[in-house]
């Protein structure tokens, strides 16, 4: 009997994998929704079987729902990530979670109905439905953690096993399904009094299922897909942001605090972020340079050509700032025609050279409507050479900006001994 159950166990795993991978492989023709729907529709069956249906195997009693189908689902989520991206993977995760919360809510509402007796005498077991609902919510919560964990672990292992894709796949399955067994068994033991001996039996069954799925994954990658999986180059923090929708929050944050005219960050955003940037650079043992820039004789531009032309000049200046400054640097509109750039991991000499490039680029490419060059004066200060706080460093840079304007404009002024003029 145990041998027959083991054979059926393997057949179920192979059948599940074959069907799901077929849907995944042909997702471009069938649509990804077919794969995602098939992945989600099994969730109630998995949870139900894990609660009430166990079979005897050579290594103990186990449920196909937990060992075959839930294990398969988690490995499918990893495969979906490998062929798509984290933003796609999060769709079934959140869909399942919200759907199961809805199941619990519906089960709670149903208990207020007064059902009629059916001719066969069968009645709905609302208590069981509620119990199953909460178990499904807990299972989906674990699936959420499992899915994030298995993807992040896969990427982390890539540092050490960059080309050993199949080995990484198997290790991820072993680790995350061990974690899942601990969490899900605790709920089964609490809700349904499943005996403690079932923990090890279920764990061994899940490990056996991981071995089957890893073998099938190897066959698919080597003999069917053949293209292999490109090594990820994205930071793990970015992947985590995608999985948890944090990139949407970051995008929303990125769209706020912007100067309407120029598109750079405004003074309010500077007061929030610049002190943090300077403080973080110093914490890491690095410098942070602050550059303050002011357009020379900008009032004359507005008076002669009007404010609309003046606005175009400001836009042209900020465009040049964007082409010279690095991705880690931040530009803020300080007020009027003044701009502040915060440049982490930049010492004072580097800041002077960067400021000089800005000055030269603007002077050689930004013109007034009558063709005359627009020049800028720049003050440069660096933490911690000129102070340990953003406010102190900005104040020093502002003093040097005043010196640049007083000294003839169109020049860069840094600490004594580091002054460049146009």
Q: Provide the percentage of residues in the chain whose pLDDT is more than 90.
A: 49
C-alpha 65/C-alpha 205 separation (Å) is 11
Whether residue 129 has pLDDT greater than 80: no
pLDDT at residue number 82: 86
C-alpha 341/C-alpha 326 separation (Å) is 10
Residue 11 tokens read as 């057949």
C-alpha 107/C-alpha 239 separation (Å) is 35
User: Rg of the Cα trace of the chain?
Assistant: 31
pLDDT at residue number 121: 61
> What pLDDT band is residue 105 in, cutting at 50, 70 and 90?
confident
Burial class (CB in 10 A: 0-12, 13-18, 19+), 409: middle
Whether residue 231 has pLDDT greater than 50: no
C-alpha 148/C-alpha 185 separation (Å) is 20
Q: Where are the domains of the chain?
A: 2-246, 259-421
Q: Which residues of 363-378 are buried (b: 16+ CB within 10 A; e: fewer)?
A: beebebeeeeebbbbb
Whole-Å CA distances, 155 to 93, 158, 165: 19, 5, 10
Question: Which residue is listed with tokens 């990139």?
Answer: 247
Q: Tell the CATH superfamily of the 259-421 domain.
A: Reverse transcriptase/Diguanylate cyclase domain (3.30.70.270)
C-alpha 162/C-alpha 66 separation (Å) is 30
Residue 196 tokens read as 């403690």
Residue range 30-69, pLDDT digits in tens: 888 899 888 888 877 887 887 778 899 998 888 898 899 9
* Residue 275 · residue 118 · CB < 8 Å: no
Listed ranges 108-122, 238-252, 392-406; the one with the highest mean pLDDT: 392-406
Q: Which residues of 101-113 are buried (b: 16+ CB within 10 A; e: fewer)?
A: eebbeebeeeeee
pLDDT at residue number 349: 92
Give the distance between the most distant pair of CA atoms in the chain: 100
Shortest CA distance to 264 belongs to which of 204, 366, 334? Answer: 334
Residue range 57-66, pLDDT digits in tens: 998 888 898 8
Whether residue 254 has pLDDT greater than 80: no
Whole-Å CA distances, 104 to 50, 107, 129, 138: 18, 5, 8, 11
pLDDT at residue number 209: 95
pLDDT at residue number 229: 47
Residue range 276-296, pLDDT digits in tens: 999 999 989 999 999 999 999
Whole-Å CA distances, 354 to 32, 237, 378: 48, 29, 11
Q: Which residue has the higher pLDDT, 391 or 96?
A: 391
């Amino acid at each position: 009997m145990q041998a027959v159950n083991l054979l059926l166990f393997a057949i179920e795993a192979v059948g599940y994998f074959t069907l799901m991978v077929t849907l995944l492989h042909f997702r471009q023709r069938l649509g990804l929704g077919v794969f995602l729907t098939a992945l989600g529709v099994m969730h109630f069956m998995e949870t139900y079987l894990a609660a009430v249906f166990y079979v005897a195997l050579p290594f103990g009693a186990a449920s196909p729902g937990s060992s075959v189908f839930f294990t398969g689902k988690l490995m499918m989520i990893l495969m979906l990530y490998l062929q798509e991206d984290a933003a796609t993977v999060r769709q079934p995760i959140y869909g399942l979670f919200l759907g199961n919360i809805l199941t619990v809510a519906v089960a709670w509402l149903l208990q207020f109905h007064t059902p009629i007796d059916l001719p066969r005498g069968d009645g709905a077991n609302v208590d069981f439905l509620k119990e199953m609902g909460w178990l499904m919510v807990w299972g989906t919560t674990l699936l959420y953690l499992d899915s994030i964990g298995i993807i992040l672990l896969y990427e982390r292992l890539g540092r050490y096993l960059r080309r050993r894709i199949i080995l990484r796949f198997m290790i991820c399955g072993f680790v995350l399904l061990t974690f899942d067994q601990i969490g899900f068994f605790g709920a089964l033991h609490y809700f349904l009094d499943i005996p403690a001996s079932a923990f090890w039996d279920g764990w061994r069954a899940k490990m056996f299922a991981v071995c089957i799925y890893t073998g099938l994954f190897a066959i698919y990658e080597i003999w069917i897909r053949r293209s292999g999986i490109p090594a990820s180059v994205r930071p793990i923090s970015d992947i985590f942001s995608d999985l948890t929708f944090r990139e949407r929050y970051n995008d929303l944050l990125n769209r706020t605090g912007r100067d309407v005219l120029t598109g750079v960050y405004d003074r309010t955003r500077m007061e929030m972020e610049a002190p943090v940037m300077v403080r973080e650079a110093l914490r890491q043992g690095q410098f942070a340079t602050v550059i303050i820039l002011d357009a020379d004789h900008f009032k004359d531009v507005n008076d002669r050509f009007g404010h609309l032309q003046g606005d175009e000049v400001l836009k042209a200046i900020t465009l040049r700032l964007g082409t010279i400054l690095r991705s880690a640097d931040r530009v803020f509109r300080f007020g009027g025609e003044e701009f502040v750039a915060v440049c982490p991991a930049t010492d004072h000499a580097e800041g002077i050279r960067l400021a000089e490039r800005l000055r030269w680029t603007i002077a050689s490419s930004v013109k007034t409507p009558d063709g005359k060059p627009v020049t800028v004066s720049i003050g440069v200060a660096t933490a911690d050479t000129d102070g340990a706080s953003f406010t102190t460093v900005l104040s020093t840079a502002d003093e040097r900006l005043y010196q640049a304007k007083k000294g003839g404009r169109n020049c860069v002024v840094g600490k004594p001994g580091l002054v460049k003029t146009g």
